[in-house]
Structure 1
Amino acid sequence: MRINVLQHTPNEGPGMIQDWSQNHGHQMYIYHPYQFGYLPTASETDMLVILGGPMSPNDDLDWIDQERQLILELIKQDKPIFGVCFGAQQMAKALGKKITKSPVKEVGWAPVYRQTEEIFGLPEKTTVLHWHEEMFELPDKAQLLFSSDKVKNQGFVINHRMVGLQFHLEPKADNVREMVVNDFPYIKGSVLNQTKEDILNSPVPAENELILNRLLDYITE
């Protein structure tokens, strides 16, 4: 399977998603549309991964709109799509929903809570990395997957083929360090009240990889 990844900033890469891809013998192609302007076509995409980034889906940029057109084409073709943070927001906006400022800015480690029956084998609660201040409206026909203490819409699943997460499950320890040392000014103003040292010194929960793998397996079954 060819997995096309849309990466939107140098310090937020695929992390454990790449490990999952390699373990399953897939081929991964990573695009940087914010820098080079190129996107894959729907015909050369078996699965799409849309990562996070500092931009907003509301920004008036051609490549952001083109990403949403690609999402809609892949939905028509019933191909799996996995979105993280900005990526989940792009999915929701492509489906006609609004992206707005969150009531609070969440940056750091904090729990999210499963909102579905245990159809994925997911735990009721897990600690994840938050790095956002915008949120998505829940798309039509979507099932709410996760909520946090501060923001209700933290994840959704649609038709066994699409999962969008407002938070980050994919970073490994080195990826977290990369995010923090390059983007630590963004931590200021977070309701989670964590310093960059707090974030760096918190280990990545081992269950995050298991949860991520189950979600990726689910949409590619």
Structure 2
Amino acid sequence: MKGIPMRINVLQHTPNEGPGMIQDWSDKNGYEMFIYHPYQFGYLPTADETDMLVILGGPMSPNDDLPWIKQERELIQELLNQDKPIFGVCYGAQQIVKTMGYQVTKSPAKEVGFAPVYRRDVKFLNIPEELNVLHWHEEMFEVPEQAQLLFSSDKVENQGFILNHRVVGLQFHLEPKEDNVREIVVNDFPYIKGSVLNQTSEEILQTKISDDNKQTLYKLLDYIIEK
């Protein structure tokens, strides 16, 4: 008799930033994915019905005084206490950090578009030393003392962290496929203005996504669910 598949609960925070390749990874492994939209409907899963939590990006800030944002952090804290895997992207990574009592502040540079990030001293993951990834942010997180710095960019040092074999937070986006990037750009192109990366919508859309991004994403996801 087959066991119950892993339940991955996803918190999505804007219509144009979905799970992308995280969904592909889930399907490939036979997991069940449930996508919640707390910004619109106000519902969140419970910790008990969550085997793994994915917290996606969005236009809001963890510093915003909204009830559902605080409720998300209550869920994150329960999962941290239970040592369950959590994967945070952009705003999602910031939410994890904020839950742990660390700061989310204005970034020294607004990064919107494709630019490299560099792996720091986390060689055990066997991931590339450099990746060309999608950035879409102007805030950044403080890396918790208990965590290891995972990635940095030329403009923003704190681009990723890993914590206790169970939690990964990324300030940038590994999850979008090319059609996902198109959806982000056509709906949120005004946000590109003021980016230090100085890319146009067309330049962003013409950038090919390396298979290294997918392989790195899969390795990170596999790593945090390992027993």
- Please indicate, yes or no, whether the TM-score normalized by the shorter chain is above 0.5: yes
Equivalent of 1:80, from 74, 77, 85?
Answer: 85
Corresponding residue of 2:153: 148
- The CA deviation at 1:99 is 0.6
1:65-88 alpha-carbon deviations (Å, 9 max, x no partner): 000110000011110000000000
Which deviates more from structure 2 when the two are superposed, residues 82-91 or residues 111-120? 111-120
Q: For this pair of structures, how many residues does the alignment match?
A: 221
Equivalent of 2:173, from 151, 168, 176?
Answer: 168
Corresponding residue of 2:140: 135
Equivalent of 1:187, from 192, 195, 199?
Answer: 192
- The CA deviation at 1:129 is 0.2
Q: Which residue type is aligned with residue 110 of structure 2?
A: K
Tell me whether 1:115 sits opposite 2:120 in the alignment. yes
Could you tell me the TM-score, scaled by structure 1's length? 0.99
Could you tell me the TM-score, scaled by structure 2's length? 0.97
Identity of aligned residues (%): 74
Q: Which runs of 5+ in 2 are unaligned?
A: 1-5
* Cα distance in 2, alignment partners of residues 13 and 117 from structure 1: 28
Corresponding residue of 1:202: 207
Give the CA RMSD over aligned residues: 0.5
* Cα distance in 1, alignment partners of residues 168 and 67 from structure 2: 24
* Cα distance in 1, alignment partners of residues 67 and 214 from structure 2: 34
Q: Which runs of 5+ in 1 are unaligned?
A: none
Asked whether the equivalents of residues 122 and 150 of structure 2 are also in contact (C-alpha less than 8 Å), the reply is: no
Corresponding residue of 2:27: 22
Corresponding residue of 1:58: 63
* Cα distance in 2, alignment partners of residues 183 and 23 from structure 1: 30
* Cα distance in 1, alignment partners of residues 19 and 58 from structure 2: 12
Corresponding residue of 2:76: 71
Give the SS at the match of 1:119: helix
* Cα distance in 2, alignment partners of residues 170 and 109 from structure 1: 13
Q: Which runs of 4+ in 1 moved over 3 A?
A: none
